[in-house]
Every structure is written in structure tokens, then in C-alpha cells.
Structure 1
Amino acid sequence: MDAAGIEEMFQGLGPVTIKRMFGGKGIYHLGRIVAVEVGGEVLLKADDKSSPEFAAAGSSQWFYEGKKGNPVKMPYWSIPDAAYDDPDEMAKWVRLAYEAALRAE
């Protein structure tokens, strides 16, 4: 996804900074990472408090295969499908990601 598309996605939260990292992009708001872009997909930060909401909305948690083929779960989740067609819904999810970033301090 290009920078303009990412910025539009996060307009309900405010300005974001996009930095290259690990073959993808890190997406930051006010100095805190709120999302990553991997393989063209934006994944939002979540934690123990917000991940149940992501799961209930049909999102999936990002993981990669670690050593010995074991899955390593990362604190990032896919964006619920309904958010792509509704700016207010997208704003809800990106705010949840920012709240998780604040709790991660």
C-alpha cells in the first residue's frame, strides 16, 4: 500500500509517520508504532485488552514461523472488513491501535 493510502486510512486518528522496516513499513502516530504494513496488508497493534475485539470482528492475528516451525504470534491484527467501507468504523479501529500503543509503554 502506498503512503497516501495509509495516510487516508489513519485520517480519523491524525497524522502518521511511515518508516521502512523489515521489508515492510512501520506506521507511527505521535511517536508510537500503531501499525505495520507487511506484504501490502496493514495490520493494527492490539494487546490483551483490545485483541478480543479484533477477534470478535473476524480479524486474524499476524504470526510468522519461528525456529522449528513454531508459530510466533505478533501483537498486530488484520483490519476488520467492514472498516474499509466506513471511515467512522476505520477511525474506531485505528484509535484502538493507538490506545494499545499507549498501554505498551
Structure 2
Amino acid sequence: MSRQFADHLCDMLSPLGPVTARAMFGGFGLYLDGLMFALIAWDCLFMKADDGNRAMFEAAGAAQFKPWADKPMVMPYWEVPADVVEDGAELCAWGRAAFDAALRTHRPKRAKPSHSAGKARP
């Protein structure tokens, strides 16, 4: 997996805001405002999809991200067509739709219980 490819995509997506790439599981997660909205695996870009933007991926004939070939599990990320990856404006439009999907599906982390709760003070 190429850090150079990840950095290139971050640059292309920069009109959306400060996009960063974090290494994960042999690939990269792409983040904007702390939310992962895309991932890079096998030198392919996948973006987050939900009911609000899944149709654009399906219309393009995109494949859903399947992390293991021998297991039926799929994740809510879809491959971005090569012609979209090569067109900066189009890539940003798809990136915005993916980020919006990440916002819609984001579940805030639950607060960890305080260890001091219920303890007597000395």
C-alpha cells in the first residue's frame, strides 16, 4: 500500500477541508473532521455509503468493500470508479457525499465511567 497514493488522494480531496490518512490494517483510512469517510485497500479507493448516496455507487457498477475473500462480510464502503478518482472535481463531489454519509451514520462514543465515582475521599 502506497503512502504516496494516500497523500495524493488527500491533496485531491483538500477542497473538502483538511483530509488526513491514517495507516490501518495494511491500508489507510481517510478522515475529515475526525470522521473516517473513505479507505484505501489494495491500491483502490473506497468511500462510505448509506441510503443517501448508495445509488450513485450502484449506478456506476461499483463493488462493495469485502475485507476477506473467503468470508461473506461486507462493509459500508464502495469502490470509487477510476474515472472519478482521476477527476478532482468529481472526486470531491463523491467525497462530500461520503462524508455526509459518515455524518449520518456516526455514533458518538459513549463516555467511559469515571473511576472516582462512588469512591470515598480520604
Instruction: Provide the TM-score with structure 1 as the length reference.
Output: 0.85
Gaps of 5+ in 2: 107-122
Spell out the pairing of 1:59-98 with structure 2 (5 A cutoff).
59-65=62-68, 69-98=70-99
* CA distance, structure 1, for counterparts of residue 97 and residue 104 of structure 2: 11
Structure with higher Rg: it is 2
> Which segments of structure 1 move beyond 3 Å, counting only runs of 4 or more?
none
Gaps of 5+ in 1: none
By how many angstroms is 1:70 displaced?
Answer: 4.1
By how many angstroms is 1:103 displaced?
Answer: 0.3
- Deviating more after overlay: 4-13 vs 86-95: 4-13
By how many angstroms is 1:35 displaced?
Answer: 0.6
By how many angstroms is 1:28 displaced?
Answer: 0.4
Q: Confirm whether residue 44 of structure 1 aligns to residue 47 of structure 2.
A: yes
1:24-64 CA-partner distances (Å, limit 9, x unpaired):
11110000001111121111111122111111122211113
* CA distance, structure 1, for counterparts of residue 35 and residue 98 of structure 2: 10
The corresponding residue for 1:5 is 8
Q: Tell me, what secondary structure is at the counterpart of 2:17?
A: coil
The corresponding residue for 2:103 is 102
1:54-85 CA-partner distances (Å, limit 9, x unpaired):
1112221111348xx44111111111233133
